[in-house]
Amino acid sequence: MKSSYRKKKIAILTGRIMGKGGTETVLSTLGNNSELNKIFDFDIFITEHLSNKDLFDFLNTLKLVRKIKIDKSVNRIWRNISIVLYLIITQADIVIGMKPRYIQIAAKIKKYFNKRYKVVSWIHFSLKHMPGSGNSFEKMQLFLPMADAHLAISSGIANELIEIGISSENISIIYNPLSRQESTIYPVKQDGIARFVYVGRLYDEQKNIIGLLNILSTFDINLQLDVFGTGPDEKVIHKVAKQLLDKKSHVVWHGWSQNPWEQIDNADALLLTSNYEGFPMTLLESISRGLPVVSYDCPTGPEDIIKNGENGYLIPIGSQEKFKDGMTKVTNHQKFSDRENVKNTLDFLYGDAYTERFKSAIHNILGILD
């Protein structure tokens, strides 16, 4: 006898996709999760993108996704029309919007065309700091309550949703997917040089890299910072580094790398001085390889990830002196000598944990009992 169970269909309106970054990592994980693809059909509608090699490399990672639609329209009006037409004909059970404007559009189509899908928000930045002119906090306050439910990638984002009047009962904290890595980044050999790592965009308004360079300039020990990434502020940041740092503080600029972690064998810690995040993958990727982190307690994400003294140090945002103290502490090789223990601090995120959280959240939204 055949089962009467029908796979539920989930349509995801992505917003801008550039081919690399945390959102792409999450979508790629969904697109390749065989367990989730047994019970859900995913449609991924890439509403905004840059046509480059990185995008096509990303699309090639989506092995199990049934349908990928790319709207190549440059004109915003035509792009919105394309989204509207898609929503009118879709048979999705759930429509997930990654931008507030898509929540508004999906909710209106549901109302005026009597669609039965559930509208779900899935924002990947702090609500108060989401990039893009159409993503102001005022827009968040106006459009996000139009959703039936909300997926939050951090407790900080969940709290921000509550702050704008959304009931905690309609919020599911699912974090981001993460795999425990077999490879390990080991402590630095005793050569008198402290070694730190930065992995991310060179975009100072968010990442506050010049603030990090200011902290490095206060050290009187030999240290090296390996920087992996590119971005719009690259030239300015290079110039500031030359002005601030002496010969004791050495920066190695590696540029963008498909997998920077393969180039890191030994380090004391990864550093993050961001003004805002969502659920920073760079912290997760670092700790999953045993590398401790020193990070500002910015909105949002680091507070869910960092356990002081176990996998690094969480520093009050803007406190450069305390950040410097954290960097000094993390160079204590006895404190973090067992890098497997560092990896173990993220057991709640590894493997099947994300699959179960995502499945449980979707079933709860649809009123399905697990």
| Strand ranges for the chain from DSSP E | 8-13, 16-17, 40-46, 48-49, 67-70, 94-97, 118-123, 149-152, 171-173, 194-199, 223-228, 249-255, 269-272, 293-296, 312-315
Alpha-carbon span 275 to 206, nearest angstrom: 5
- The pLDDT value recorded for residue 137 is 83
Q: Which of 100, 96, 49 is nearest to 73 (CA)?
A: 49
- The pLDDT value recorded for residue 50 is 58
Alpha-carbon span 69 to 343, nearest angstrom: 37
For residue 79, what are the contacts with CB-CB under 8 A and spacing of at least 6? 47, 48, 71, 73
- The pLDDT value recorded for residue 301 is 94
Other Cβ atoms within 10 Å of 69 Cβ, number: 14
Other Cβ atoms within 10 Å of 132 Cβ, number: 14
Q: Which of 88, 18, 6 is nearest to 47 (CA)?
A: 18
277, 299 contact by CB (below 8 A): yes
Q: Please write the tens of the pLDDT for every residue from 310-369.
A: 999 999 999 999 999 999 999 877 788 899 999 999 999 987 899 999 999 999 999 976
124, 278 contact by CB (below 8 A): yes
Classified as helix, coil or strand, 267 is coil
Alpha-carbon span 20 to 39, nearest angstrom: 27
- The pLDDT value recorded for residue 138 is 86
Joined tokens for residue 82: 């394309």
pLDDT in tens, the chain (370 residues): 344 568 899 999 987 776 566 777 788 888 888 899 899 998 888 876 655 566 666 666 676 666 666 666 567 788 888 899 999 999 999 999 999 999 999 999 999 999 999 999 999 888 988 766 566 888 889 999 999 999 999 999 999 999 999 999 999 999 998 888 999 999 987 777 899 999 999 999 999 999 999 999 999 888 999 999 999 999 999 999 999 988 778 899 999 887 899 999 999 999 999 999 989 999 999 999 999 999 999 999 999 999 999 999 999 999 999 999 999 999 877 788 899 999 999 999 987 899 999 999 999 999 976 5
DSSP state of 135: -
Sign, Cα dihedral of 150, 74, 257, 68: positive
Alpha-carbon span 56 to 38, nearest angstrom: 25
Q: Domains of the chain by range and CATH?
A: 8-177+351-366 (3.40.50.2000), 194-344 (3.40.50.2000)
For residue 186, what are the contacts with CB-CB under 8 A and spacing of at least 6? 265, 266, 290, 339
Classified as helix, coil or strand, 56 is helix
The single-letter code of the amino acid at 269 is: A
Joined tokens for residue 89: 């004909």
User: Torsion angle, CA of 93/278/228/48, rounded to 10 degrees?
Assistant: 40
Half-sphere exposure of 160 (CA within 13 A, CB side): 25
Q: Please write the tens of the pLDDT for every residue from 136-164.
A: 888 889 999 999 999 999 999 999 999 99
Alpha-carbon span 355 to 363, nearest angstrom: 12
Scored b (16 or more CB within 10 A) or e, 304-322 reads bbbeeeebbbbbebeeeee
Alpha-carbon span 297 to 363, nearest angstrom: 32
Alpha-carbon span 203 to 275, nearest angstrom: 11
